[in-house]
Chain A
């Protein structure tokens, strides 16, 4: 994977709004954003109600993913262009789902909603409906998904990349600062995890930095190219953004997103936690 295959620019997107076989999908935490204006022809996915199981603590399974995409009118042959708010956090999360379930052509819109809005590109409020399809997903590709036991086993052996803000890493904050701080889990980070906030990979307008800049950021932070990598954040969406950078833009092999992330790890009984700004010992 590379920038050319995984990313499209706002310019490209605006020229291809009506291109056959291209489906724009807005993925938002806050679905009112879509309702106040979206890219023409774009359908909406709600990261929570559409992409999370309503009962079990997990995301949608293969059958649920097939039902969702069929109902929204996405076919296996469509090129899916994902974009959203929060600097594409949730669009990157959805990108990871699409990859996990084996969708062939999926790309992120560089800069997401923010870049589009700051450029004053057009947004519309028209309702969008697409004819239903018969979507067939692949079995989940768990080579890009990390579970808790392998995260604990990775301490001191694999690259662990904590992509939360420095204050969350150190344990001074328990959630991103647009959210209340009272949380059930303990604060801190996984021992030996390096701190590379997701935001280091993005420009102020939400676009990704250049490949050279990105390589330098992870290199300077101490990422060992010879090891497998697990990225985590609080609930797995910011780490999808960093997973996208490492695997899809920079082409690192063997990068996993730990979607359980800190809400799971920080609630586990007995696992080691490090407080403060240093990675700590295994």
Chain B
């Protein structure tokens, strides 16, 4: 067996490591990646924040926990999405209209 480590993750609903580089198996011509860093109002990265991806109707689609550097990443589909972050330092939202490829979306949380 030489399956990459990511295969085990993709087989379940396991939350992948948010700081890991995109696996080589990810085809960015097919995937819509929404990624970014959660920061406090002072500009500090917020690790351990809960970031959820909401669809165009506001319905929950997925949730991840930010890495030690505050990073998050979703694999969505083209369309309009909202990011919502919850943390001990406050909450925050950001909207994105995404096509295929990688989209960097910062999220700021405030009390």
Interface residues of A (CB under 8 A from B): 29-30, 32-33, 47-48, 85-87, 89, 114, 117-118, 120, 165-167, 172-173, 175-182, 197, 199, 204-205, 234-235, 237-238
Contact = CB atoms under 8 A, between A and B. Distances in A.
A178 B31 contact: no
A178 B55 contact: no
B101 to A, nearest CB: 13
Nearest to A37: B48
Interface of B: 6, 8-10, 12-17, 23, 25-27, 30-31, 48, 50, 52-53, 55, 57, 59-65, 73-77, 84, 86-88
B88 A120 contact: yes
A177 B16 CA distance: 11
The 8 closest A-B pairs by CB, nearest first: A199-B60, A29-B14, A177-B62, A178-B62, A165-B61, A177-B61, A176-B62, A177-B74
Contact of A179 (B17, B52, B75): B75
Contacts of B75: 175, 177-181
Contacts of A89: 13
B65 A85 contact: yes
Given A179-B16, A204-B52, 13 more contacts: A29-B15, A30-B14, A118-B88, A166-B55, A167-B77, A178-B62, A178-B74, A179-B62, A180-B25, A180-B75, A181-B77, A237-B12, A238-B13
Nearest to A176: B62
Contacts of A29: 12-15
A114 B76 CA distance: 23
B55 A86 contact: no
Given A182-B30, A205-B86, A197 B59 contact: yes
9 contacts: A30-B14, A85-B15, A87-B63, A89-B13, A165-B55, A177-B74, A180-B31, A182-B31, A199-B59
Contact of A181 (B6, B15, B30, B73): B30
Chain A interface secondary structure, helix, strand, loop or mixed?
loop
B14 A48 contact: yes
Contact of A177 (B57, B76, B86): B76
B48 to A, nearest CB: 7
Contact of A204 (B15, B48, B86): B86
B60 A118 contact: no
B13 to A, nearest CB: 6
A166 B14 CA distance: 20
Nearest to A164: B61
A173 B60 CA distance: 13
